[in-house]
Amino acid sequence: MPVDLLVFGPHPDDIEIGMGGTIALHARRGDRVGLVDLTRGELGSNGTPDDRVAEAAEAATVLGAALRLNLELPDGRLSADDDAQVDAVVRCVRAHRPRAIAIPYWEDRHPDHGSASRLLRQAIFRAGLRRVAGDGEPWRPEWVCHYFINDAAPPSLGSCHAGPACER
C-alpha cells in the first residue's frame, strides 16, 4: 500500500511520543500515513511486548494512520551492520513507496534510538539502489526528516534531507 508519510520508531510508543501530533494532522488532511515499529520493545520495563503492540495498534487508530506494522527486529540490538535488519527496512520502504519518511534523530539518551536512526538511514539509502536485490522496485522518498523522541538538541529543519542526495 503506497503512503504519503512513513514514520519509523524503534519501539512501540516512540512514534507517538515524537510524532503523534504531526501524524494526526497529516491523517486529518487526508494523507495516507504508515507507522512502523522496528521492535516489540521486549527489553522495556513499561508493559509486556504484547501489551505494547496492542496499545500501538490502538494509537494508530486514534491518530488516523492507514497502517501499523512491527518488523520484530531485536530490541537492544538494532544495527546498520546487520544485513537482515537493513533488508527488512528496505522491503518495507519499497512496499509502501512513501513520499516522505520520518526517522528518529541520530543522538538520544536511549542507545536504541540512535542505532535505529543509523539503521534507517542505511536502509532508506539502499532502498533506492537498483542493484540492491530484494523485493520491490527501488524507491527513494522525496524527503527524509529526523524527529526527537527525547530532548537531544535544539530543533531545526537543518537535519532534513531533500531529494536523493541533497542535504539542507
In terms of phi and psi (left: phi > 0; alpha: psi -120 to 50; beta: otherwise), the region of 41 is left
Residue 159: inside a domain:
yes
Query: In this structure, are 63 and 110 located in the same domain?
Result: no
Q: Which amino acid is at 92?
A: C
Containing domain of residue 128, as a range? Answer: 91-168
Alpha-helix residue ranges (DSSP H) falling in the chain: 14-28, 49-63, 83-96, 111-127
Query: In this structure, are 64 and 130 located in the same domain?
Result: no
Query: In this structure, are 35 and 98 located in the same domain?
Result: no
End of a domain among 54, 77, 100? Answer: 77
Confidence of residue 151 (pLDDT cuts 50, 70, 90): confident
Mean pLDDT of 68-77: 98
User: Quick one: pLDDT at residue 1?
Assistant: 85
Is 0.85 topped by the overall pTM?
A: yes
Query: In this structure, are 56 and 96 located in the same domain?
Result: no
Pairing of strands 100-104, 67-73: unpaired
The side-by-side arrangement of strands in the sheet containing 143-147 is: 67-73, 33-39, 5-9, 100-104, 143-147, 161-162, 166-167
Mean pLDDT of 65-74: 98
Instruction: Specify the higher pLDDT residue, 44 or 5.
Output: 5
Q: How many Å apart are CA 76 and CA 79, to the nearest integer?
A: 9
Mean pLDDT of the chain: 91
User: Quick one: pLDDT at residue 118?
Assistant: 98
Residue 121: inside a domain:
yes
Query: In this structure, are 31 and 95 located in the same domain?
Result: no
Confidence of residue 156 (pLDDT cuts 50, 70, 90): low
Residue 95: inside a domain:
yes
Number of domains in the chain: 2
pLDDT reading at 145 higher than 70:
yes
Q: What is the pLDDT of residues 76-121, one digit of tens each?
A: 999 999 999 999 999 999 999 999 999 999 998 999 999 999 999 9
